[in-house]
Amino acid sequence: GAVVSQHPSRVICKSGTSVKIECRSLDFQATTMFWYRQFPKKSLMLMATSNEGSKATYEQGVEKDKFLINHASLTLSTLTVTSAHPEDSSFYICSATGDRFLDTQYFGPGTRLTVL
């Protein structure tokens, strides 16, 4: 299988600050990366889809100006939570597909964000 990493694994920040989360595909080129959010005891919810070199496509109800996504290379996508508030506290998980894994998404380990 493919390996996807995320950094940081957990982050605590103050309300009003911005936080950047990185997602990397370590052993394949990810033409498409996805960002999900998971609240406690809930299932993963897709936030956005990004293709390398293109603007991300956001799901309904997800604010594109608040959750900035950049997919500048075939191995890296970043999610920036701007002006974070306590309600943004959640588990953020990325996944990637591409190269020889066209139909299967491989997930990163997730980033736990806590906004105080």
Binding site for another protein (CB under 8 A): 1, 4, 6, 32, 34, 36, 43-46, 49, 51, 59, 91, 93, 95, 97-98, 102-110, 112
**Closest CB 44 distance from another protein, rounded Å:** 5
Quote the CA–CA distance of 116 and 54 in Å, as a whole number: 33
Quote the CA–CA distance of 36 and 107 in Å, as a whole number: 10
The two tokens of residue 31 are 């033409």
CA 105 to chain centre: 13
Query: Toward another protein, which CB reaches closer, 81 or 110?
Result: 110
Query: Toward another protein, which CB reaches closer, 68 or 107?
Result: 107
**Closest CB 11 distance from another protein, rounded Å:** 14
**Closest CB 108 distance from another protein, rounded Å:** 5
Query: Toward another protein, which CB reaches closer, 15 or 54?
Result: 54
**Closest CB 83 distance from another protein, rounded Å:** 25
Other C-beta atoms lying within 10 Å of the C-beta of residue 75: 20
Residue 88 gets which letter from DSSP?
G
Of 62, 66, 68, nearest to 16 by C-alpha is 66
Task: Give SS3 for 87.
Answer: helix
Query: Toward another protein, which CB reaches closer, 19 or 101?
Result: 101
